[in-house]
Amino acid sequence: MKEIDYTKEKIDAAIQTLGPAKIDSPIPGIDIGGEYTNFASDSDRILFYQRERYFRHCLEKRIDPVTLELAGPRKKIYFDPKKLRCAIVTCGGLCPGINDVIRSIVLALYHTYGVRHIYGIRYGLQGLIPKYGHEMLELNPSVVANIHEMGGTFLASSRGPQDIEEIVDALERLNIGLFFLIGGDGTLHAAASITDEVARRGEKISIIGIPKTIDNDIFLVSRSFGFDTAVEMAAQAIRSAHTEATGAPNGVGLVKLMGRHSGFIAASAALALKEVNFVLVPEIDLDIEGEHGLLSILRKRLIDRKHAVIVAAEGAGQKYVMDKEVKRDPSGNIKLGDIGKYLRDQIKNYFNRIKMPVNIRYIDPSYIIRSVPANVNDRIFCGFLGQMAVHAGMAGKTGMLVSLWNNRYVHVPLKSAIARRKEIDPNGRLWLSVLESTGQPSLKNPVQTSAEICLQGKKRTLKTTRRSASKRK
C-alpha cells in the first residue's frame, strides 16, 4: 500500500448531534478571565494533517484544511442525567483494557454526571436479541470496582452480525438514550448502521463507539487501547525465542503474532528489542523460495551468525496458505491460513534437503497476549477514552467514536473511520526503522521479463539435450 496522499483524501469530519444541548453541565467550571477552562467547544478543532505540503495544497486550492472536533466536556449537555438510561456492550475478540474502558464509562456517568441507570449488555449484541435469553447487568461503581484487574471483558463478548432492526427495537423497549459500543471494525460498522436506523425512526438515541482493535488498524485512530500491552507481551515472547535460538547451533526462533491485515504489533515489538532478524507483515509481499527468498537468506544468516529470530504477523504470506475457496468466520472476516506452522514446516524441509541441521523453536502467544490485563500506560489511556466517550454522549453527539489524533482526543464520524483500514506504509518511518533494525533485504526475487524466461527455457533445453547425447555416447 502506498503512502496515503492526504491532499487528495476527502474526510467528512462533521459530527452528528441529536439536537441543541440546553441543560447546564453538572461539571464545575473554572472561571479564569471569563472563560471556563474545564470545557471544550464544538469550535475547538484539531488539525487533521500537519505537514507543510498539505497547507500549501489548501492555499493553492483555496480550501480550508480538514480539522477534527476536540473531545472533552461541554458547558451544556443534551440529556437530563436523572432520567437517562445508558447501556454498554463489548463485541468481537478479547483485548487488554476492555474492562478499564467499561469501568471508566461507569465511573464518569455515575460520579461526574449523576446517571443512575447504567446497564451492561452481556455477550455482545446477542444480549439485546430476545431469542438468546441473555440477562443484562445493572452497573454501578461497586460492581465495576475491581474489574480492571482482570483480563478479557467483564460483560463477555460474541461474534457475528445481528439484525439491526431487532437491536434498535431492543434499545427502544429498554428506553436507552445513550449506547456505548466497544469493538473493532465489525462493531463500528454495526454502530454506523444502528445510527442510521435510529435516525430513520426519528428516535433520540446517542450511539458512541470506542475503537477496540489489538492490531491497531482502525483508520483515523492513531493508537487503539490494548496495543501498548500487546507489544509489551509480544516482546516477551520474542525475547524467549531469541534465548532459545542462541542456545542451540543454528537455532531459529519463530514467533507468530496478531495482525490480520496490519503488522503494527510485529513491527513495534521487533523495534522494542532489536533482536529480530526478519519481520514478516501483511503489507509487504515476500517470497519463500528462490535466491532472494526467505529460506535462502535465512541459510546465509545461519552460516554467518549461527542463529536467527523471525517474527511473522498472522496475515503475512497468505498467498502460500490461504484456501482457494474463501471461508469466513462468524464476524465475516476471511479465515486466514496458518503462516506460522507453514513457515516452521518449510524451514524444516528446506534445511533437511540441503543437509544442514537446524533447531527450530516455534512460539504462538496470541491468546495469552490478548487475554491479559492492560498495563499502566493502557489503563491511563482507557480511562481517558471512557471519560471522553461519556462527555460526547451526554452532549448529544452520535454516530461517532473517540480517537486519539495528533496527541489530542477528538471526535471522528463512524462512517469516516470505517471507510478504510490503517496499514503500515512501506515507505514510512516505522517500516524503514524495522529494515534498519533487522538488516533484512526485500525477500523478493527479481521479476523476470518474458525474454529472460524464454532464454532460461532454451538453456535448460540445451543442457538436457547435451546430457542425453552424453548418455548415448
C-alpha cell at 29: 467550571
Distance CA 275, CA 278 (A): 10
Say which residues have a Cβ less than 8 Å from residue 215's Cβ, sequence separation at least 6.
224, 227, 258, 259, 260, 261, 262, 264, 265
Distance CA 184, CA 209 (A): 9
Distance CA 36, CA 270 (A): 45
C-alpha cell at 32: 479564569
Annotate 242-254 with b (16+ C-beta within 10 A) or e (fewer). bebbeebebbbbb
> For 367, what's the count of Cα atoms within 13 Å in the CB-facing half-sphere?
0
Contact of 277 with 245, CB cutoff 8 Å:
no
100, 185, 196, 215: the catalytic one is 215
The beta strand positions in 186-319, using DSSP E, are 206-211, 251-257, 278-280, 307-313
Element (H, E) at 461: helix 450-472
Helix, strand, coil in percent for the chain, rounding step 5 = 40, 15, 45
- 217 tagged catalytic: no
Distance CA 224, CA 415 (A): 17
The set of catalytic residues is 215
